[in-house]
């Protein structure tokens, strides 16, 4: 098959691209950075250098593909993620429609169907745009929060051996590792599916207590202090987040305080439970802590 991927050699793609190439698929990797081309070509894939905001580029790159993989790349926009997602949804749906692609795997997120999920609800704009495409099979892969988001705790652990979170220490949260997402993306790209569907991805269900114990196991003693959502929102504004993005992240924090509702759709689905547990990530976390 000819498989075209957004996301360059990011922390998900890098785990499954070698498998696709080894199986003989023609793989096209889109990257916005020209200096990635050599590395992509060395893997045995074809590099397509351009922007995921460039409709004509996407149309030309998608043409002839049996399946394309879409995602929000480039990080969180400085001003308004919801508006950016609307723009991307329109670009992606047009590119798929005009290029004639009939199979799409879209990296979305938990919360894409939940108006109370704050910043994560932005993903519904892309899902809805793709769902309007007639005769196109679309699978939305919805991972939960990335373990790597926990790296944001490194600074306060270094400074005061304390984790500050707006969620109570005994509240369950779902986390995921990129390698587990990669497994689901790989399966979705290479296996057949029909119509429009959703696949959730979770690596582990973890409380703050579980996280602290995992860190203790690798030799890091920390305390957990709950702070208000407003405190986190104010900190985000001061660190450069726009008013709208900070407010949307604050709403996400509020939603996570009620895990039964926030994760209800996952629990009611046949979600993929991955292999990388919080104890495994703690080993990665301590290495980064020691190297800072």
**Residue whose entry in the numeric block shows the structure tokens 């990388």:** 276
* Residues with Cβ within 8 Å of residue 178, at least 6 apart in sequence: 11, 12, 15, 146, 148
With 70 as the cut, is the pLDDT of residue 221 above it?
Answer: yes
Mean pLDDT confidence for 163-184 = 98
Mean pLDDT confidence for 61-87 = 87
With 70 as the cut, is the pLDDT of residue 24 above it?
Answer: yes
With 70 as the cut, is the pLDDT of residue 77 above it?
Answer: no
Mean pLDDT confidence for 46-54 = 97
With 80 as the cut, is the pLDDT of residue 78 above it?
Answer: no
- On whether the CB atoms of residues 45 and 28 are closer than 8 A, the answer is yes
Mean pLDDT confidence for 166-187 = 98
Name the band, by pLDDT with cuts 50, 70 and 90, for residue 193: very high
* Residues with Cβ within 8 Å of residue 254, at least 6 apart in sequence: 116, 118, 229
Mean pLDDT confidence for 212-238 = 97
**Sequential DSSP letters for 178-201:** HHHHHHHHHHHHHS---SEEEEEE
Structural domain spans, the chain: 2-143+177-201
Name the band, by pLDDT with cuts 50, 70 and 90, for residue 186: very high
Q: What is the pLDDT of residue 80?
A: 86
With 80 as the cut, is the pLDDT of residue 235 above it?
Answer: yes
> In percent, how much of the chain has pLDDT > 90?
96
Mean pLDDT confidence for 85-107 = 98
Question: Cα separation of 221 and 287, whole Å?
Answer: 15
Beta-strand (E) ranges in the chain? 2-5, 26-31, 46-49, 67-70, 103-107, 137-143, 145-146, 162-165, 173-176, 196-202, 204-206, 223-226, 272-273
Q: What is the pLDDT of residue 198?
A: 99
Q: What is the pLDDT of residue 79?
A: 73
Dump pLDDT digits (tens) for 122-172: 999 999 999 999 999 999 999 999 999 999 999 999 999 999 999 999 999
Whether pTM exceeds 0.75: yes
Q: What is the pLDDT of residue 174?
A: 99
Q: What is the pLDDT of residue 185?
A: 99
Q: What is the pLDDT of residue 92?
A: 99
Q: Among residues 205, 210, 207, 250, which one has the least CA distance to residue 227?
A: 250
Q: What is the pLDDT of residue 292?
A: 86
- On whether the CB atoms of residues 71 and 146 are closer than 8 A, the answer is no
With 90 as the cut, is the pLDDT of residue 75 above it?
Answer: no
Mean pLDDT confidence for 269-276 = 99
Structure tokens, 207: 């409380």
Mean pLDDT confidence for 49-75 = 94
Q: Mean pLDDT over all residues of the chain?
A: 97
Pairing type for strands 204-206 and 173-176 reads antiparallel
Q: What top-level class would CATH report for the domain 2-143+177-201?
A: alpha beta
């Amino acid at each position: 098959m000819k498989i075209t991927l957004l996301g360059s050699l990011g922390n998900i793609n890098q785990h499954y691209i070698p498998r696709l190439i080894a199986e003989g698929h023609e793989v096209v990797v889109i990257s916005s950075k020209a200096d990635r081309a050599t590395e992509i070509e060395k893997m045995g894939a074809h590099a397509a250098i351009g922007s995921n905001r460039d409709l004509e580029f996407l149309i030309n790159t998608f043409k002839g593909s049996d399946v394309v993989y879409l995602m929000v790349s480039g990080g969180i926009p400085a001003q308004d993620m919801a508006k950016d997602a609307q723009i991307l949804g329109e670009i992606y749906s047009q590119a798929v429609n005009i290029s004639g692609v009939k199979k799409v795997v879209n990296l979305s997120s938990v919360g894409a169907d939940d108006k109370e999920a704050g910043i994560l609800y932005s993903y519904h704009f892309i899902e809805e745009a793709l769902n309007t495409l007639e005769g196109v099979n679309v699978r939305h892969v919805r991972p939960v929060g990335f373990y790597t988001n926990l790296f944001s705790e490194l600074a306060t652990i270094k400074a005061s051996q304390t984790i500050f979170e707006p969620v109570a220490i005994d509240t369950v949260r779902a986390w995921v590792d990129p390698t587990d997402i990669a497994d689901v993306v790989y399966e979705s790209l290479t296996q057949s599916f029909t119509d429009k569907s959703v696949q959730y991805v979770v690596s582990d269900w973890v409380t703050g207590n579980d996280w602290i114990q995992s860190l203790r196991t690798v030799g890091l003693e920390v305390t957990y202090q709950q702070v208000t959502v407003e405190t986190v929102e104010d900190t985000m504004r001061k660190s450069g987040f726009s008013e709208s993005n900070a407010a949307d992240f604050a709403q996400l924090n509020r939603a996570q305080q009620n895990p039964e509702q926030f994760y209800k759709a996952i629990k009611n689905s046949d979600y993929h439970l991955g292999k990388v547990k919080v104890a495994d990530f703690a080993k990665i976390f301590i290495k980064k802590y020691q190297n800072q």
